Chains A and B, each alone.
Chain A
Amino acid sequence: MSLFALELRKHRVLIGGMLLVAFLWAAWMARQLLASEPLVTLAINIGFLFALAPVGLLVPVVLARTLSGEATGPLAFLLTSPRRGLAHVAARFGVALATLAIYYAVLVGMSSWVASSVGVKYDVWLPLAAWAYFLAAWAAPAVLAGIVYGLVVAAYRPGRGGQIVAVSAAFGLFKIWGWLTWRAGEYLAFLPQLPIPRVNVPAEIAPYLGLARGDIDLTAALQTIIDGIPTAPAFVGLLLTVALFLVAAHLWEEVEWA
């Protein structure tokens, strides 16, 4: 049994539950889409996406905290293993990222299916790019931030005051992350940009999106949006992931088991 399989088995209820919710949502959407009016489904889908967005943002942190919480736990044999901290952290990170990859794939896949069902036309790479961008720029560093937080608490056992500092530091990390992303957008303009996707919205859909009536080619409009969403955050996210990964591996070596 590999460390990855161990983590997967340990957290199977949480992971299974999370994926079940995503799949149930997809099944319910599909039923709406097939059984009733696609336009209504689109409206519901957009509403759901807005409702799910904060959950989707919290999910990596919650998942990572759960995974790292058992680092010390009652299981001394994990900490006396001569396997390096990197291997243990990689197993937890791998399980979390694999789960989130499926979770976000369901959300993105379902949304793009609904959109294409009602006649919105776009480049086929767009959902894949959105999924990969979200994983690299948000999910991967967020998972590791959660793991680092859990390991800090496990390694140094802060008291109530220390916990407040740890939580503040975690929020501070997200602020620094946002700042880095903003600065990166400013200074890393030379990095390759996302290609501008071709998106065409048919006349009957436009009102649902708050757009003017009539067939709309969003490609030109997306030019400014894509320019405003450079690839720099994804690179910053990946760099932050590597840095946090090394911190987490070091913390694993520091953890005590009292």
Chain B
Amino acid sequence: MLVELREVTRRFGRTVAVDGLSLELPSGEVVGLLGTNGAGKSTTLKLMAGLLYPDAGVVRLNGRPPRVTRGQLAFLPERGQMYDWLDPKGAAGLFSTLYPNFRPRRFFELLEQLEVPNRALNQMSKGQRARFLLAATLARKARLYLLDEPLGGVDLITRDRILAALASEWREDATYLLSTHEVAEAEGIFDRAVFMKEGRVVLSASAEELRERGQSVAQAFREVLA
């Protein structure tokens, strides 16, 4: 398994954000991490990225703690922020310094595909910034892509562009984990859907299993999480 979480718990004060969560993800899948607000999706992604430590349980990426295998993952935070003065060329330079697996040529291709203008971030709209950060994340040759709400707060056209970019980036040796509320728009690309409620996984099913049950991801979302 590429990713393993065993009995993982994470608290913030008295709030239990993730509660005894267990999950295994193989390589080569596009996985939707779905749940209502406050279900613990972002915390789960941060635990997988090694940005948070579990209070209990074990998180493993390729059999080792994520902080040790950081080079194998690429994380797009929900409130992704970047230095405002960076333009694509400056960002390519910075990311090449930060990440040995960063592919500048792919970054510029993705920027073009996502129609991101060639100017500084502080001169971009919210949607353009989101696409810029997504391009910077996907341009890293990682084994695990953790994308927190990449479709949040963007218009329908932008959403389509992002989904097309994701589809074009798919590799067999990598896993893509997307948290999103935009279930209907994104369900066409999921190989698996993981439903979270109150910090726990309540259902993990492949697209095939859902089809056998005669359900779309959106229908399962309503049924499981209502």
Contact = CB atoms under 8 A, between A and B. Distances in A.
A192 interface: no
B51 A1 contact: no
A31 to B, nearest CB: 35
Which of A9, A76, A77, A79 has the most chain B CB atoms inside 10 A of its CB?
A77
A3 B90 CA distance: 12
Interface string B72-104: 011101011111010000100111011110000
Nearest to B86: A1
B82 A79 contact: no
B67 interface: yes
A257 B51 CA distance: 5
A160 interface: no
Interface stretch (A19-27, A80-88, A121-129, A201-209): A80-88
B74 to A, nearest CB: 8
B99 A82 contact: yes
Interface string A223-258: 000000000000000000000000000000100111
Contacts of B71: 82
A220 interface: no
Given A256-B53, A258-B52, A77 B82 contact: yes
Contact of B75 (A9, A10, A76): A76
B171 interface: no
Nearest to B102: A81
B73 A80 contact: yes
Which of A10, A79, A80 has the most chain B CB atoms inside 10 A of its CB?
A80
Contact of A80 (B51, B53, B82, B90): B51
Interface in A75-124: 75-83
B83 A10 contact: yes
Contact of A258 (B46, B75, B85): B46
A257 B82 CA distance: 15
Given A75-B82, A76-B51, A6 B94 contact: yes
Contacts of A74: 79, 81
Contacts of B53: 256
B49 A80 contact: yes
Contacts of B74: 80
A2 interface: yes
A147 B25 CA distance: 38
Contacts of B75: 76-77, 80
Interface in B96-139: 97-100, 136
A35 to B, nearest CB: 41
A2 B94 CA distance: 7
Contact of A82 (B70, B77, B82): B70
Nearest to A82: B71
Given A2-B97, A81-B99, A257 B83 contact: no
B97 A3 contact: yes
Contacts of A2: 97
Nearest to B146: A80
A253 B136 CA distance: 23
B12 A1 contact: no
Which of B73, B80, B97 has the most chain A CB atoms inside 10 A of its CB?
B97
Given A76-B51, A76-B77, A257-B46, 6 more contacts: A77-B82, A80-B50, A80-B75, A253-B67, A256-B53, A258-B52
Interface of B: 12, 46, 49-53, 67, 70-71, 73-75, 77, 79-83, 85, 90, 93-95, 97-100, 136
The 5 closest A-B pairs by CB, nearest first: A82-B71, A81-B98, A1-B93, A257-B51, A74-B81
Interface of A: 1-3, 6, 9-10, 74-83, 253, 256-258
9 contacts: A3-B98, A76-B80, A77-B75, A80-B73, A80-B74, A81-B98, A82-B71, A257-B51, A258-B12
